[in-house]
Amino acid sequence: MSEIAIEIESMSKSYRGEGEIVHVIRDLDLTVPLGQIVSVEGASGVGKSTLLHIVGSIDTPVEGKVRIFGEEITSMTERQKENFRAANVGLIFQHHYLLPDFTVLENVIMPLWIQRKNVSKSTDNAIEMLKNVGLGHRLHHYPSQISGGEMARAGVARALVGGKKLILADEPTGNLDRDNSEKLADLLWKLQEQLGFTMLIVTHDQDLAARVPRRFRLKEGHLEPFS
């Protein structure tokens, strides 16, 4: 496998608005080695989520190439992208998007079930991941029966289950108070040390960003390093 997790070459993204074209990302380059934690900061509306979605193969650039673990996702078919994403990419959002009619455990098994993995092994993996995020005592609770901090941690377990090697986090602490934000950051760093995944974090949270070893600001379509 390639030693590089994320490789973006001359990537541009624009949207066609009401008659005019909005250039969100212009000729952007970024290389992230395996296992690195990188943040993307910047004002609201500058294109942080757009960049994250392109790296996660949910959105497509207008120009340029994106390779993840040496594979060019920009030339994959929708089906190939779906399979690639399911096997490699974990997404963490500001809002957890846990399915309300399923238990915490079922929510975390879901990504493995979608990949048609062995049911009893998937259950074991999901339970282990939930224990790892401190939710071993909440397996059979429904999302409405757990706290906001616990929901965020369940979202992390769902993103990581199955051994995902690339974690994309969009404002992961955006919905949490200071105490829970700090707990979530501690958890992400602990898991990263254990599991060695590469993580791209979009955030406004200065306490979270301060922990990140390689920080960028997205401004006028470009990434400016600032630490």
Ligand X SMILES: Nc1ncnc2c1ncn2[C@@H]1O[C@H](COP(=O)(O)OP(=O)(O)O)[C@@H](O)[C@H]1O
15 contributes a contact to ligand X by CB under 6 A: yes
Least Cβ distance, residue 113 to ligand X (angstroms) = 29
Contact 103, 140 (CB under 8 A): yes
- Please provide residue 158's backbone torsions phi and psi, each rounded to the nearest 5 degrees: -65, -35
Out of 36, 39, 49, 132, which residue is the one contacting Mg ion (CB under 5 A)?
49
Three-state secondary-structure class, residue 205 = coil
| Binder of residue 45, out of Mg ion, ligand X, none (CB less than 5 to 8 A by kind) | ligand X
Query: 23 vs 141, which CB is nearer to ligand X?
Result: 23
Region binding Mg ion by CB under 5 A among candidate stretches 35-43, 49-57, 88-96, 100-108: 49-57
Would residue 6 be called left, alpha or beta, if left means φ above 0 and alpha means ψ between -120 and 50 degrees? Answer: beta
| Binder of residue 46, out of ligand X, Mg ion, none (CB less than 5 to 8 A by kind) | ligand X
Q: Judge residue 226's burial from the number of C-beta atoms within 10 Å of its C-beta, 0-12 exposed, 13-18 middle, 19 or more buried.
A: exposed
Query: 42 vs 90, which CB is nearer to ligand X?
Result: 42
Least Cβ distance, residue 40 to ligand X (angstroms) = 8
Residues 6+ apart with CB under 8 A from 85: 56, 57, 58
- Please provide residue 111's backbone torsions phi and psi, each rounded to the nearest 5 degrees: -60, -30
Q: Judge residue 20's burial from the number of C-beta atoms within 10 Å of its C-beta, 0-12 exposed, 13-18 middle, 19 or more buried.
A: exposed
88 contributes a contact to Mg ion by CB under 5 A: no
Rounded Cα distance between 107 and 186, Å, is: 23
Query: 52 vs 135, which CB is nearer to Mg ion?
Result: 52
Query: 15 vs 113, which CB is nearer to ligand X?
Result: 15
Least Cβ distance, residue 128 to ligand X (angstroms) = 33
Kind and range of the H or E element at 97? none
Query: 46 vs 160, which CB is nearer to ligand X?
Result: 46
Out of 44, 77, 120, 206, which residue is the one contacting ligand X (CB under 6 A)?
44
122 contributes a contact to Mg ion by CB under 5 A: no
Positions that interact with Mg ion (CB under 5 A): 49
